Chain A
Amino acid sequence: ELKVEQNPLFLSMQEGKNYTIYCNYSTTSDRLYWYRQDPGKSLESLFVLLSNGAVKQEGRLMASLDTKARLSTLHITAAVHDLSATYFCAVDKPTGNQFYFGTGTSLTVIP
């Protein structure tokens, strides 16, 4: 069974600080996705990583993928309160379009 694990599960950080969320997965996959979810809301796509070594950046967030280590990271630079949300990574099964999500990281940025 495909397993996706994230750590930490909960993250409280001060504004202006940097931190990294880690996502490990148990099966070979070249496709990894990061999503954001605000309380009571649906999932918003942040990044699509489609190959080994892929790196994407948007604002204060940067995501990378190492398919050999089965590891993706989401790096937060100089956090601001607006980044407070739950972040999920997801792996797509090789057959396509069947997403397996991590446990989620609940991020709280403290002013």
Chain B
Amino acid sequence: DAGVTQSPTHLIKTRGQHVTLRCSPISGHKSVSWYQQVLGQGPQFIFQYYEKEERGRGNFPDRFSARQFPNYSSELNVNALLLGDSALYLCASTLLATEAFFGQGTRLTVV
């Protein structure tokens, strides 16, 4: 079975640009959540989606948005990028109230 896959692996963007990150969950997992991990810190919860509906949002500005598609894959969008958005973005898929399985992450660098 394929695990959680994220694309791209690495990305370099300029301040003010927009970025889209993608995630495919484990087959059969209907819940996807997104996390931001700044270097030296623990992952911070951004969004959770279940059955294409937003079920939770962390303390992030409106520049961050996400959606989930009928096949349960998900996109995270960030507008008007700031230097502080540079981080490892992790996607996790879960099967109901169980452990989260994380993808390898997308490392975003904003210059």
Residues of A whose CB lies within 8 Å of any CB of B are 1, 4, 31, 33, 35, 41-43, 45, 48, 88, 90, 92-93, 95-104
Contacts of A101 in B (CB 8 A): 35, 42-44
Interface residue from B42, B45, B90, B102 paired with A98 (Cβ < 8 Å): B45
Indicate if the CB atoms of B42 and A97 lie closer than 8 Å: no
Contacts of B103 in A (CB 8 A): 42
Number of B positions contacting A (CB below 8 A): 27
State the CA gap A36–B35 with chains docked (Å): 16
Indicate if the CB atoms of A103 and B41 lie closer than 8 Å: yes
Asked if B2 is at the interface (CB within 8 A of a chain A CB), the reply is no
- Given A96-B55, A99-B35, output 15 extra A-B contacts at Cβ < 8 Å: A31-B97, A42-B104, A43-B43, A45-B99, A48-B99, A88-B43, A90-B100, A92-B97, A96-B31, A97-B31, A97-B50, A97-B55, A97-B96, A98-B45, A101-B43
